[in-house]
Amino acid sequence: MEYNNPAFDRADTAGCYEQETDMAKVSATSSPPSHREARGLAPPSRNNPTPADGDLGKVSLAEAGTDAAAEGGEERETWSKKIDFLLSVIGFAVDLGNVWRFPYICHRNGGGAFLVPYFIMVIFGGIPLCYMEMSLGQYHRLGPLKIWSKICPLFKGMGYAMILVGMYTSFYYNTIIAWAVFYFFSSFTSELPWTSCNNTWNTDNCTQFGVDTWRNNSVSAATEFLVRNVYEYQNSNGLSELGYIRWQIALCLALVFVIVYFSLWKGIHMSGKVVWVTATLPYVLLLILMVRGVMLPGAKRGILYFLTPKWETLARPSVWWDAAAQVFFSLGPGFGVLITLSSYNRFHNNTCRDAVATSLMNCLASLLSGFVIFSVLGYISVTQDREIETIAVGGPGLLFEVYAEAIASMDGATGWALIFFFMLINLGVDSTFGGLETVITSLSDEYPRVLRRHRELFVLGLMIVCYTGALVTTTNGGVLVVHLMDTFAANTSITIVVLLEVTIVCWIYGTDRLSCEMREMMGTKPALPWRICWTFICPIILAITIVLGLVYYESPVYGDYVYPGWAVGVGWGITGSSLVCIPLYAMYKFIITPGTLQQRARLLLFMEDSEEAQTTEIAENGRASPVEFNKGLVALPNSNV
């Protein structure tokens, strides 16, 4: 029989191939063994009894009925219930950015008109990428580092890039949660501390909401509470002199990491239960806050401003770039979280439904947040006789200044403040779970005998490292570090990582092969539109997003503070430090791999199993595995490649 090695169709699952070979004979009464069964990564199916010795090699733990980890000989966890996985993914996707970023960029880019490019990006970019990553993680049951040994070993540096981005994000994102914790505890008073202007941190420009007349040099009491009491920004002198650590914020940050530790230390069975609260409660609280917001005077004005389309804005390329960035950064492809969480799924789980459900819930949260925020902006606009354009700000200020100011003027302000900041804490902690679980799973898969067996100590050490790295953001000028990291830690690097990921998976690993693996898991191959999105549309959208991001790049500023050139250089260094892992590892792997240049290139680009595993397979069984033989990458003994 003739074996082909087509450049595009590298599908090697038995669901797509049914070949008779002298290397593996299958009885007429049984169906061919699946690709995962042949490799020992899945239990034999009902129609495929355990192969005898000499037919398909040694029987693994998986073939004995255990869904084992690929390395280390230990069982890999699976979610107790399907809903645990779904809530974990939704909890990661729906984060603080849905509350502060989406409403702001929506109003900045044409109001209701922005929803057109937003939903186009969700349909043709967000959902397909989520579907692809979930399927890869579920099929290979590995984290985003080890999985590249099965997809394309030359690009295993992609996994290291994802780990670094996850670490960088934990250094500043958890500080924002710590601010919410500080506000939450500060709200246990009869009068919220950012209500009046008679506090020690207030200045002569302080203006009390609903009491004082707004002037050109006015500063709201809520803004002064955040800047002069929470940050104590007045005690810093920019990045060159950050000031001292705010011990109150450092304690709140420690509390955040303690919560994260005890949610992750025992694995997904613990975090899968925590998300029943942290992933669902924000929707309940958003609905409550929305109902309260639409009852405020002026709410209609704010909501109309939010939804009224300005169609002329669709001609601006920056609007489409903002839509793509919002979708990709919110749903989270490229961060490795979707691969990680889905790697604990059962093999026949339907990842298509999960991807669609996650994306829809993410969109719902963004729209709810828009109503919550803009109903309050309309209220402030009417009360202070100000235009909404002068009120709406992006970033954390929208939550800790604008919304906090409006809450302080409501009846029952203490209760509304507690609800709002508790919601922010839940939104933030959920995303932290996913990001750090990616780091934990990736390194545990790579070093199972050391890290997986001592998970509690490993997670504790990781929390200490992340907390230490985040301490700089708790200084008086820490907000400048937070803004710098938020600008450079993930935005550009993740977009490039996702572009490389979808390109490698579709054009090297093979769209057809991916489709056949999905068929093996779910019974049917993905429809043609999915494959078109993965192969063509998603790479084009991502490439355009990267180009537009560079074209419309603006140096970061915080208020009146302009970041110096050296700080911008450090920021780009942070971006590059994660991306450089990809070429560095590729060069390292290419150098240490034996063989001719052509052999090394073919092995590292297309090989799925390690060289050692191939050598052992050939030596013990006198044959190459069906996977590698179909690819034409491994020859039988005493033959040439």
H-state helical runs in 64-188: 82-93, 96-108, 115-121, 127-140, 148-151, 157-186
SS (H, E, C) 21-79: CCCCCCCCCCCCCCHHHHHCCCCCCCCCCCCCCCCCCCCCCCCCCCCECCCCCCECCCC
Other residues' Cβ atoms within 10 Å of the Cβ of residue 588 = 12
CB 136 within 8 A of CB 151: yes
User: And the tokens for 634?
Assistant: 């491994």
Of 70, 60, 74, 66, give the one whose Cα is nearest residue 452. 74
Length of the chain equals: 641
Tell me the Cα Rg of the chain: 27
Alpha-carbon span 166 to 502, nearest angstrom: 19
Angle, vertex CA 542, rays to CA 537 and CA 544, nearest 5: 95
CB 217 within 8 A of CB 205: yes
Helix (H) or strand (E) run with residue 561 in it: strand 561-562
Cα dist from 475 to 149, 177, 465, whole Å: 41, 15, 17
Annotated binding site for Na(+): 91, 93-94, 98, 330, 362, 427, 430-431
Looking at residue 160, its amino acid is: Y
Cα dist from 75 to 64, 69, 446, whole Å: 12, 6, 15
Cα dist from 316 to 172, 245, 313, 319, whole Å: 32, 43, 6, 6
Annotated binding site: 91, 93-94, 98, 330, 362, 427, 430-431
